[in-house]
Amino acid sequence: MSIKIGDVARLAKVSVPTVSRVLNKNKYVSPELESRVLDAVKKLNYIPNDNARGLAAIKTKAVGLIVPFLNESSSSFINSCSTILEESGYDLMIGKSGRNVGTEIELLDIQLSMLVSGIILISPICSRKTISILKKQDIPVVFAYDKAPVLGFHTRIFDNKKAAFTLVSAIPDIGIRRVLILSGPADDYINYSRIGGCRQALAKTHNFKLWECDGTLEGGYKKTVEILKKEKPDVLVCLNDFMAIGALRAAHEFDIAVPGQMEVTGFEGTIYSGISSPPLTTVRFSDHLLGEESAQTIISLMEGQEAAKVKVLGFELIPEESCRLLKQGGESGNN
């Protein structure tokens, strides 16, 4: 009985396209999967034919999307992405990395083995391994949210640094007030950019401190409790809305009036910023618009059309009760 490529795939416990990619040696496959495939080929004494080799060149009507988390922001992004892709006949294959480099690489390997025609990636850390894998592919890649254009990929992003600078600069008397910046992990490129904007706005004063937590509501609450046991800042700049809501809870438990005794800002403009007590002063990004832009870009590239390498979307300052601002209204970040 002749051995078929499907027999190799079953023994190696991988997909048929993955076997084909290993045999052709023209696409990235993780060392572990490659070893399993080659072991199966040897055990079965499989001799590939031209049809099996040709499978690696097949493209599907599917697009891979990898996000770090599933939350309100990513849900809006995913929904708008999916709508645009479906209208053009493409399916969306979604994976969640949890900000873990190993998981991100595993998800890339899975999506590439399924022969996706393009990949949209939100990668806060963006490891060298991820970049190396993507640069070996002959399919379009779009980075979303905030990624340095020097990586060489198409990017659809928000200018997080400019948005943070604009927000902090709009706080009255910022140069003579005690300011504390509460950020998520600084190894996250998005947080790094926002911290940079804050530092730029506060460059003429040394009267500020930077604290980090895990970026969640609970993390923001716990870190603010820790801070308030030591000191009370005049202004607490939280670099996402979830941390800011946690900070409001902590301030309430310490009987610190917001505003009045302390002012608090958020960042990102989620729906929760408007229903917190008090409502949060924040910077609003449109995740929905970013999803549309990313999907439209990947479609253009998959269909052989030209697309701008970098597009920066705008943001809007949202002044609310939690913190006074010198100026109101929108700020454009469009290029």
42: CATH: 1.10.260.40
Asked, for residue 210, whether it belongs to a domain, the answer is yes
| 185 and 235 in a common domain | yes
**High-pLDDT (> 90) share of the chain, %:** 46
CATH number, domain with residue 88: 3.40.50.2300
Whether 88 and 25 share a structural domain? no
Q: Amino acid letter at 324?
A: R
Phi, psi of 330, rounded to the nearest 5 degrees: -95, 160
77, pLDDT greater than 80: yes
Structural domain boundaries, residue 257? 160-285+317-331
DSSP β-bridge partners for residue 187: none
C-alpha to C-alpha distances, 170 to 2, 202, 315, 332, nearest whole angstrom: 73, 11, 14, 15
pLDDT confidence tier of residue 102, bands split at 50, 70 and 90: confident
- Type of residue at 186: A
**330 pLDDT band (50/70/90 cuts)?**
very low
* CA distances from residue 92 to 64, 122, 192 in whole angstroms, order as listed: 6, 15, 29
212 and 117, same structural domain? no
Q: Are residues 46 and 194 in the same domain?
A: no
pLDDT of 42? 84
**Band of pLDDT at residue 326, cut at 50, 70 and 90:** low
Q: Which 8-state DSSP code applies to residue 155?
A: E
pLDDT band at 130 (very low <50, low <70, confident <90, very high): confident
Q: Are residues 95 and 233 in the same domain?
A: no
Most confidently modeled range among 51-60, 173-182, 242-251:
242-251
Q: Which is nearest to 331 in space by CA: 145, 149, 160, 203?
A: 160
* Between residues 229 and 157, the one the model is more confident about: 229
Tokens, residue 313: 């979307």
Confidence class of residue 147 from pLDDT cuts 50, 70 and 90? low
Same domain for 164 and 281, yes or no, is yes
The pLDDT tens digits of the residues spanning 295-313 come to 999 999 988 898 999 899 9
Given CA atoms 137, 140, 144, 147 in this order, what sign does their dihedral have?
positive
- In this structure, the chain runs to a length of 335
Question: Which has the higher per-residue pLDDT, 294 or 3?
Answer: 294
CA distance 133 to 117: 15
Reply yes or no on whether the pLDDT at 252 is more than 70: yes
pLDDT at 263 over 90: yes
Q: How much is the average pLDDT of 177-184?
A: 93
Task: Quickly state the pLDDT bin for 9 (edges 50, 70, 90).
Answer: confident
Residues 106 and 26 in one domain: no
The 10s digit of each residue's pLDDT in 196-241 is 999 999 987 767 899 999 999 999 999 999 999 999 999 999 999 9
**Domain membership flag for residue 273:** yes
Token pair recorded at residue 290: 């970013």
CB of 171 within 8 A of CB of 204?
no
Are 244 and 133 part of one and the same domain?
no
The rounded distance, in Å, linking the Cα atoms of 173 and 326 is: 9
CB 4 within 8 A of CB 23: no
Residue 279 pLDDT level (bands cut at 50, 70, 90): very high
Within a domain: residue 249? yes
Tally of domains within the chain: 3
Q: What is the pLDDT of residue 261?
A: 93
Question: 176 falls in which pLDDT band (50, 70, 90)?
Answer: confident
Residue 327 confidence (pLDDT) above 70: no
- pLDDT band per the 50, 70, 90 thresholds, residue 333: very low
Residue 27: band (very low, low, confident or very high) from pLDDT cuts 50, 70, 90: low
Residue 202, token pair as written in the block: 């506060």
Residue 261 belongs to a domain: yes
Q: Which of 75-79, 116-120, 132-136 has the lowest mean pLDDT?
A: 132-136
Q: Specify whether 100 is located in the same domain as 179.
A: no
Give residue 5's pLDDT: 77
For the chain, the average pLDDT equals 85
Query: What is the pLDDT, as a whole number, of residue 68?
Result: 85
